[in-house]
């Protein structure tokens, strides 16, 4: 299963988290982190929420266009530190300008999202 999400460079990793949260039909917030090294739990490349016990950089302030990302760059999004939902993220392209509209937005996807919890009947 996968989802394709368009996001503006001026938006943040926290905005991307919100888009992934929606794309995979999550309903209960948990801690999350992005690992730009593509290695889970690599504190040297971690972006997360301020106030957590980690030394993660602030995902709410990390603009997409300031991260030095390049086309085909892969990194990890980890949602829910207890259940450890790992998502592989790949940057598919960079455009200088996007049409007006609401961003981030889910533009394509395949497969059904698994339930957030194994015993979910309807979420």
- pLDDT number for residue 121: 53
- 0.85 surpassed by pTM: yes
- What are the phi and psi torsion angles at 6 (to 5°)? -95, 135
Per DSSP, 56 falls in state -
Inter-CA distances, 67 with 20, 51, 59, 82, 106, Å: 18, 21, 11, 27, 21
- pLDDT number for residue 99: 77
* pLDDT tens by residue, 26-43: 888 899 999 999 999 999
* pLDDT tens by residue, 65-80: 999 999 999 999 999 9
Long-range contacts of 66-69 (CB under 8 A, 24+ apart): 67/13, 67/36, 69/36, 69/94
- Write down all domains in the chain, each with its CATH number in brackets: 2-110 (3.10.290.30)
């Amino acid at each position: 299963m996968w989802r394709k999400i368009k996001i503006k460079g001026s938006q943040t990793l926290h905005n991307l988290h919100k888009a992934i949260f929606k794309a995979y039909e999550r309903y209960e917030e948990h801690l999350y982190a992005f690992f730009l090294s593509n290695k889970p739990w690599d504190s040297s490349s971690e972006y997360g929420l301020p106030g957590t016990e980690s030394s993660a950089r602030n995902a709410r302030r990390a603009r997409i266009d300031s991260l030095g990302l390049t086309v085909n760059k892969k990194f990890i999004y980890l949602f829910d530190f207890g259940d450890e939902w790992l998502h592989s993220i790949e940057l598919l392209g960079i455009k200088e300008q996007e049409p007006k509209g609401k961003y981030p937005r889910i533009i394509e996807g395949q497969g059904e999202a698994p339930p957030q919890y194994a015993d979910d009947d309807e979420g």
